[in-house]
Amino acid sequence: MITGKTKIIGIFGDPIEHTLSPLIHNEAFRCLELDYCYVPFHVKRENLKIAVEAIKALNIKGVNITVPHKETVISYLDELSEEAKVIGAVNTVLNEEGKLKGFNTDVKGFLLSLKEEGISVRNKNVLVIGAGGASKAVVYGLLKEGGKVYIYNRTKSKALAIKEQMNKYGFIEVLNKIEENLSDKVQIIINATSLGLKKEDPLPFDPEILDSKHVYYDIVYPETKMIKEASKRGCKAIGGLGMLIWQAAYAFEIWTQIKAPLEAMKKFLNTY
């Protein structure tokens, strides 16, 4: 029940109708009987500044930030976490007594989902396809954990920009194309493009390079065509729901200072 004491959490994005975050977080609040309510806000680009000011004005406890605001929101915040600074994108904001602090929970979400699957990236060669915002979080996480990154993107300049920014954290090399001989060189292959989101999307690369020695990780959810191709070839195939849940759990903890009810959140999402 919403009362005068209920704390409000929101999500700002455009579009916003597709988001699963209200379901996940409201289930977590319900499960722990916390007096919070998570609300979607359709915020257009031209209204972002005023929407962020409204977090303070309306005493909203925190928000998630999604497409297309993750980068632009930074200029309206008071403070950034280390990860948000490095990646240059914020997906979670905490209102700490009128001071807005930005976080990027995708890095930790990605790493915790790997850990949950029992996968260590230390000294492994990892092929990352894509060089958008999510790719930056994945690459930073991999380098921090001692992985070696080979990155390919349709627009090479964006992969080069990530290399330029991230090579102080570890080994990163930009590829001109995805060649067959990569198959023996890499142990983990990650789709960090948005391909797979729509039914009609092409595969992000030729699945023939995959075989049973590879781990295939697709940050897109729900299950993509490429996950099916990878499973068919005997790979350990991991979809994007794990990362989604773990990044949400970390955001939940930032807002509430309470451990997220992870199993309940997962169970709810799986049955939805």
Ligand X SMILES: NC(=O)c1ccc[n+]([C@@H]2O[C@H](COP(=O)([O-])OP(=O)(O)OC[C@H]3O[C@@H](n4cnc5c(N)ncnc54)[C@H](OP(=O)(O)O)[C@@H]3O)[C@@H](O)[C@H]2O)c1
Count Cα neighbours of 74 within 13 Å in the Cβ-side half-sphere.
16
Work out whether 153 is an interface residue with ligand X (CB under 6 A): yes
Distances (CA, A) of 74 to 89, 104, 236: 7, 11, 37
Peptide bond just before 202 cis, omega within 30 deg: no
Measured from the CB of residue 189, what is the shortest distance to ligand X in angstroms? Answer: 15
- Kindly tell me which residue out of 219, 230, 260, 269 binds ligand X, with binding defined by CB under 6 A: 219
* Partners of residue 189 on adjacent β-strands: 127, 216
Where in 19-48 is the site for ligand X (CB under 6 A)? none
Active site residue 70: yes
Work out whether 154 is an interface residue with ligand X (CB under 6 A): yes
Locate all alpha helices (DSSP H) within the chain, ordered by sequence: 21-31, 48-57, 82-87, 106-116, 133-144, 156-166, 182-185, 225-232, 241-256, 262-271
Which C-beta is closer to ligand X: that of 55 or that of 220? 220
Q: Which run of H or of E encompasses 210? A: none
The span from the CA of 36 to the CA of 262, in Å, is 17
Measured from the CB of residue 46, what is the shortest distance to ligand X in angstroms? Answer: 20
Measured from the CB of residue 3, what is the shortest distance to ligand X in angstroms? Answer: 32
Which C-beta is closer to ligand X: that of 55 or that of 131? 131
Q: Which amino acid is at 161?
A: A
Which C-beta is closer to ligand X: that of 71 or that of 79? 71
Which C-beta is closer to ligand X: that of 135 or that of 256? 135
Work out whether 125 is an interface residue with ligand X (CB under 6 A): no
Q: Near ligand X by CB under 6 A, which window of 17-25, 51-59, 127-135, 260-268?
A: 127-135
Catalytic residue among 44, 49, 70, 115: 70
Spatial contact of 243 and 142, defined as CB atoms under 8 Å apart: no
Work out whether 133 is an interface residue with ligand X (CB under 6 A): yes
Residue linked to tokens 């142990």: 187
Where in 230-269 is the site for ligand X (CB under 6 A)? 240, 243-244, 247
Who's near 69: CB < 8 A, 6+ residues apart?
12, 13, 14, 43, 45, 48
Which C-beta is closer to ligand X: that of 179 or that of 184? 179
Q: What is the DSSP letter of 73?
A: G
Work out whether 224 is an interface residue with ligand X (CB under 6 A): no
The span from the CA of 219 to the CA of 215, in Å, is 13
Measured from the CB of residue 240, what is the shortest distance to ligand X in angstroms? Answer: 3
Tell me which residues touch ligand X (CB under 6 A): 106, 109, 130-135, 153-155, 158, 193-195, 197, 219-221, 240, 243-244, 247
**Residues carrying an active site annotation:** 70
